[in-house]
Structure formats: C-alpha cells, structure tokens
C-alpha cells in the first residue's frame, strides 16, 4: 500500500516543526519545499537523522523543485512573512496574498487532487486566496486556526484550574485574530462546563489572553510562534489522512451555515478523508452571535482586499 505524501511549503520554523511532528506521527512521506536553496534540504536531513532515535519510518525530502511535490495527498502552506513586534496579522495581507497565489498555482499544476491546509496569516484571508486561485472544491481548502486557538485556551484553562490539558475541550469560532469567539458555555473540563468552575471575570481574562496569544509570543521572541501552530496543523492533517472524523475548530468555507455568505471563517467542523466533511452549526445566543457577526465582517473586509489584489 502506497504511503501518503505530504508537502509542506516553507521550511521556516513552522514548516520544519510541522515536518518533524508529522514524521514522528508517521503520517506519510514528507516533502519540505522552500525557495531558499539549502534551507529545506538541510532541515530534511536533520529530521531524517533523528528517525533512528525517535523510531519513525518515512522518507523526508528537502527541495526547491516543485516537481518533487507531485501527487501529494495534502499540501500545507506555511510560507509567508511572519509577524514581528508591532505588527498585526492584517499587516501581512498584501505580501502573503502574493505568496499564497504563487503557491496555489503550483499546487494546481502538481497536486490537483490534494487537500490544502493553510497556516500563514492573515489566516482566513489566505484560505480565501488559496480557494480562489486553485478553484478546488470548498471542502478541500482549510485554514489552521481553531486548533491552535483551542490549544491556547485549553492550556490557559488547565493551568488556572490545575488539571490535565487532556480534560479540557474547547469550542472557538470566528476569524483568527483579536475578534475570535471562544465559547465558554460549550467549553468543558472532564465534561463539566468551565462556567461551573471559574467565575465570569476569570474566564474573560483567559479569553483575552487567548486572543492575544500570538502577539504574546511575538513580543517575547521577536517572531511568531511555531511549536503550537505546527502541532495544530499536524492534528488536522492526521484527521484527514486517517479519516478520523475528528471534530475540530478550523477555518472552513461557510455559505448558508451561520449565514456567512460564502467566506472562510472559524467554525467547528468534522475532518475526514474528504477534508471538511461537515460544518457543525451551533445555536448561538445573542451575545455569541453578535461577536461572530463582528468577526465575520472583518473577514469579509480582508476578502474584499484580496479581490482587489489578485
């Protein structure tokens, strides 16, 4: 039986870490591609040389040649400018739109049957860009954001409560940014609603930290996070490649769902071999709906700018 083939575009911190985690999970053969000669090749060799210690068995190739990506099952787009202190995700829009456009055209040429996971920012707008350029079925283009934001919220909740992160299950919606919409009434710890365990002010404090989670790391390191984004990306890829039917918050195309009108935005969805197999529609209360609509309006503004750019 042929192994799955995973192409990771961009051999920077996020891309290389995604490749390493995917290798340890033995999800398939990996092609790490970058425009900088030597970068992907060196990191691929380094990851491959860890295999005898960590005991994973897959082929890992670093390249600048898109021909080596042909026939990929999944293509993960991490390439693009990362955030630096003082920058918002929106500040990356024009430059990263051009990069995603170029990458998307190459994906169509070499892996027309693949499923795309977009990781670069501004996330929702870049998923929109990849979809528009590839013309792929809407369920085959997905943005990685909810898995990361859920992980951050879970991490903060577990630390606050002194419980295992494995017991925390979060639901988040909306765009990947300061207007994301965590849903505490649907977030649980060992099946217990978090609203039963923490007061409203403490939950609001942790939600705000989650919204600012990316910039917190940027301000400390001077560049974007990569361990947690890579872990979230691999979780999505694994759900697809193993047809796990995993329920995850992710950036998915919504038309009639949530009256979104045809945009990519964070929602809970079922991920399997066909990509997004179902968007789960929640009955949002008035406050949640207001927050979601505000976030959606921002996503629409970014999409309109993409339409002007490309």
Q: Locate tokens 């369920």: which residue?
A: 139
Position 269 confidence tier, pLDDT thresholds 50, 70, 90: very high
Q: Which residue in 101, 132, 176, 300 is the catalytic one?
A: 176
For the chain, what is the mean pLDDT?
Answer: 96
Position 2 confidence tier, pLDDT thresholds 50, 70, 90: confident
The C-alpha atoms of residue 74 and residue 235 are separated, in whole angstroms, by 13
pLDDT of residue 4: 98
- CA dihedral sign, ordered 196, 198, 203, 206: negative
pLDDT of residue 252: 98
pLDDT of residue 265: 97
136-176 pLDDT per residue, tens? 999 999 999 999 999 999 999 999 999 999 999 999 999 99
Token code pair at residue 231: 């872990």
Residues in a beta bridge with 61: 31
What residues have CB less than 8 Å from 236, skipping those under 6 apart? Answer: 117, 142, 144, 147, 248, 250, 271
239-257 pLDDT per residue, tens? 999 999 999 999 999 999 9
3-class DSSP state of 75: strand
The C-alpha atoms of residue 169 and residue 268 are separated, in whole angstroms, by 12
308 against 88, higher pLDDT: 308
20 assigned to active site: no
**What are the structural domains, with CATH classification, of the chain?**
5-143 (3.40.50.720), 146-309 (3.90.110.10)
Helix 227-241 crosses helix 146-161 at what angle (to 10 degrees)? 120
Q: Of 52, 48, 75, which Cα lies nearest the Cα of 62?
A: 48
Q: How far is residue 95 from each of residues 55, 119, 310, measured CA to CA in Å? A: 39, 15, 11
* Residue 162 exposed, middle or buried by CB count within 10 Å (0-12, 13-18, 19+): exposed
The C-alpha atoms of residue 35 and residue 102 are separated, in whole angstroms, by 12
The C-alpha atoms of residue 184 and residue 105 are separated, in whole angstroms, by 40
pLDDT of residue 260: 97
62-104 pLDDT per residue, tens? 999 999 999 999 999 999 887 778 777 778 898 999 999 999 9
Token code pair at residue 244: 């796990």
């Amino acid at each position: 039986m042929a192994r799955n083939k995973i192409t990771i575009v961009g051999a920077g911190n996020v891309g290389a870490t995604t490749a390493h985690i995917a290798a340890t999970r033995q999800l398939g053969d990996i092609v790490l591609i970058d425009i900088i000669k030597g970068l992907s090749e060196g990191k691929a060799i380094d990851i491959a040389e860890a295999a005898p210690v960590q005991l994973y068995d897959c082929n890992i190739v670093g390249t600048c040649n898109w021909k080596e990506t042909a026939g990929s099952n999944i293509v993960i787009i991490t390439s693009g400018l990362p955030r630096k202190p003082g920058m918002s995700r929106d500040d990356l829009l024009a430059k990263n739109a051009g990069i995603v456009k170029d990458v998307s055209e190459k994906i169509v040429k070499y892996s027309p049957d693949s499923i795309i996971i977009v990781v670069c920012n501004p996330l929702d707008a870049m998923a929109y860009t990849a979809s528009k350029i590839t013309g792929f079925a809407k369920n085959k283009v997905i943005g990685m954001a909810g898995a990361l934001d859920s992980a951050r919220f879970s991490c903060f909740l577990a630390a606050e409560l002194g419980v295992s992160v494995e017991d925390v299950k979060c639901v988040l919606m909306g765009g990947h940014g300061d207007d994301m919409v965590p849903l505490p009434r649907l977030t649980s710890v060992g099946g217990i609603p978090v609203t039963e365990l923490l007061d409203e002010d403490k939950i609001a404090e942790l939600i705000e930290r989650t919204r600012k989670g990316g910039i917190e790391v940027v301000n400390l390191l001077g560049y974007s996070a990569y361990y947690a984004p890579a872990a979230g990306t691999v979780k999505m890829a694994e759900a697809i490649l193993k047809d796990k039917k995993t329920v995850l918050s992710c950036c998915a195309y919504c038309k009639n769902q949530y009256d979104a009108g045809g945009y990519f935005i964070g929602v809970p969805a079922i991920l399997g071999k066909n990509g997004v197999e179902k968007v789960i529609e929640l009955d949002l209360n008035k406050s949640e709906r207001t927050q979601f609509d505000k976030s959606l309006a921002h996503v629409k503004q970014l999409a309109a700018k993409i339409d002007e750019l490309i």
